[in-house]
Amino acid sequence: MVQKTVLITGARGGLGEALTSEFSNNGWLVIATDLEVRILNERDRGERVREMAMDVSSDTSVGAVAGQLLKEAVQLDLIINNAGIDRYFPLSETPVSHFKEVFEVNVFGSYRVNQVFLPLLKKPGGRIIHVSSEAVKINVPFMTYPISKQTLEGYCRTIRQELRFLGIDVTMIRPGAIRTPFLENVKKMKNPVPDSQLNGPFEKFAAQAHKEIGKTVEPAVVAKSIYRIAAGRKTRPVYKINNSMQLSVASILPFCLTEKVVHRRLR
């Protein structure tokens, strides 16, 4: 049986580390990428895991890794776009560079990786998985993450249709809260804008946000689900894992109603 190969972005810690372990434990060769070469703990580093430093927000960095693998005639069966960042700030006051930083990783990072690594992806039979978020269901003040994931999902639906002509399958995973350091950032958020006119509402948002997270699951649980999806014969456009009923209900309410509720709680 020929060994399969997966490229995983954002492989250091949290879901990325769980994905690396899950796929390698199931016999896949994992090319685990993140900003630093030392991605996994020594005990987790095995012969089926190859660590490579790659910054998904950099054309040069992504191109260098793809070029190296191309030289070695590596063929990919799967790309998992897992890299992502979260930032909290008033969009009406914060410099555009902060907003661009989120999109460079969460949106353009996937765009860049998919395009540059396309020559290495098996055709037909290759797959691309994007890790989105159930946060796409909401838009609330001070959160850029949902906006970036909404854009990512629009992009994903488009290339799913394009790459179908090449026999490449593209899908999205929409997980709910995962028990990772990512969630700890919610408790530590600070308004980066000096003398912000919105500091009062922001502080109320910061005090309440972590209480709204809901049920969390371990990264390994989500990784196992993603592995089953990757190993299946066909995929759907979107898969939901540990999605919150409360958030699902909120997403179908009229925006004018949710807007009033948010304003009342933060004013």
Q: Quick one: which H or E segment has residue 229?
A: helix 219-231
Neighbours of 218 (CB within 10 A): 13
User: Class of 5-266 per CATH?
Assistant: alpha beta
Residues facing residue 174 across a β-bridge: 240
Give CA–CA dist 137/140, Å, rounded.
10
User: What global pTM score does this model have?
Assistant: 0.93
Give 104-134 pLDDT, tens digit per residue. Answer: 999 999 999 999 999 999 999 999 999 999 9
Neighbours of 230 (CB within 10 A): 23
Give 87-97 pLDDT, tens digit per residue. Answer: 999 999 999 99
How much of the chain is helix, strand and coil, in % rounded to 5? 50, 15, 35
Sorted by where each begins, the domain ranges of the chain are 5-266
What rounded mean pLDDT belongs to the chain? 92
Give CA–CA dist 249/133, Å, rounded.
16
Q: What is the per-residue pLDDT for 47?
A: 82
Sole residue written with tokens 């699902």: 248
The structure tokens listed for 36 are: 């630093």
